[in-house]
Amino acid sequence: MKIASFNINGIKARIEALPAWLADAAPDVVVLQEIKSVDEGFPRGLFEDLGYRVETHGQKGFNGVAILSKLPLEDVTRGLPGDPTDEQARWIEATVIGARAVRVAGLYAPNGNPAPGPKYDYKLGWMARMRERALGLLATEEPVVLAGDYNVIPQAMDAAKPEAWLEDALYLPQSRAALQRIVNLGYADAFRLRHPGPGHYSFWDYQAGAWERNNGIRIDHLLLSPQASDLLRDAGIDKAVRAGDKPSDHVPVWIDLDA
């Protein structure tokens, strides 16, 4: 079961690039972030014609997450538990029925800038709620994949120029600690299980020649429960997608599970 995560930075802007990547990479399941569309505005027919089931949790103009799956989906839920007043569309879950059932959560964590401030407080509160949900999912003792744009640079090796991010919400010690508290529950960073070295990134800013200079950061992650880690066959980043026509500022990250 190939599961991918891709922050597309707007479905309208990626209406040609996304189907082209799907045809080339052929993932079984894709979680999308920043679809920037209400549910009824998402071009679901385009992806259904490619063989995907489509589930969205949209929001007008910004945020928004989705799951595309060639495999059956069960128990689809929307929204991160823990704050009934939170209206931001950043979390979607479903059980994917392959050779084994896998619970997949697609997430778009808050950016948090400027920090300190209300946006950073929301980021840390959101990640604390995510930890509670991640803990609850572990209790099922089933394979769980938490996939998406975490907006956290875990380590210095995950940035080409870590010194440039010292005061950014993505790299502040509190942000990295919030992510580590989730990992400490028993989750594993799938990409690092297969690629422990530096120089791997999933985001490059559109400005200042970041892509041309490979001045990137790794903020898109797939965390695996122990049961999912046992099924891991491979993991990767589709870096070449950034060089395509009308690219997102992110590229897809993916895993292959024996499921």
* pLDDT tens column, 169-212: 999 999 999 999 999 999 999 999 999 999 999 999 999 899 99
Residues 244, 235: Cα–Cα separation, whole Å: 21
How many structural domains does the chain have? 1
User: Across-strand partners of 103?
Assistant: 95, 144
Please report which confidence band the pLDDT of residue 233 belongs to, taking 50, 70 and 90 as the band edges.
very high
Set 108, 150, 187, 201: catalytic member: 108
Please report which confidence band the pLDDT of residue 106 belongs to, taking 50, 70 and 90 as the band edges.
very high
By CB atoms closer than 10 A (0-12, 13-18, 19+), residue 235 is: buried
Name residue, tokens 């892509």.
211
Q: How confident is the model over 130-169, as pLDDT tens digits?
A: 999 999 999 999 999 999 999 999 999 999 999 999 999 9
Quick one: pLDDT at residue 69?
A: 98
Quick one: pLDDT at residue 90?
A: 98
Please report which confidence band the pLDDT of residue 245 belongs to, taking 50, 70 and 90 as the band edges.
confident
Residues 29, 15: Cα–Cα separation, whole Å: 18
Active site residue 52: no
Local structure of residue 250 (DSSP, 8 states): B
Set 28, 52, 120, 149: catalytic member: 149
Quick one: pLDDT at residue 244?
A: 84
Residues 105, 100: Cα–Cα separation, whole Å: 16
Average pLDDT (6-27) is: 96
pTM score, whole prediction: 0.98
Q: What percent of the chain has pLDDT over 70?
A: 100
Q: With 90 as the cut, is the pLDDT of residue 32 above it?
A: yes
Enter the tokens of residue 193: 């299980």
Quick one: pLDDT at residue 161?
A: 98
Q: Secondary structure of 102-165 in the HEC alphabet?
A: EEEEEEECCCCCCCCCHHHHHHHHHHHHHHHHHHHHHCCCCCEEEEEECCCCCCHHHECCHHHH
Residues 228, 124: Cα–Cα separation, whole Å: 26
Q: In terms of residue numbers, what domain contains 20?
A: 1-258
Active site residue 201: no
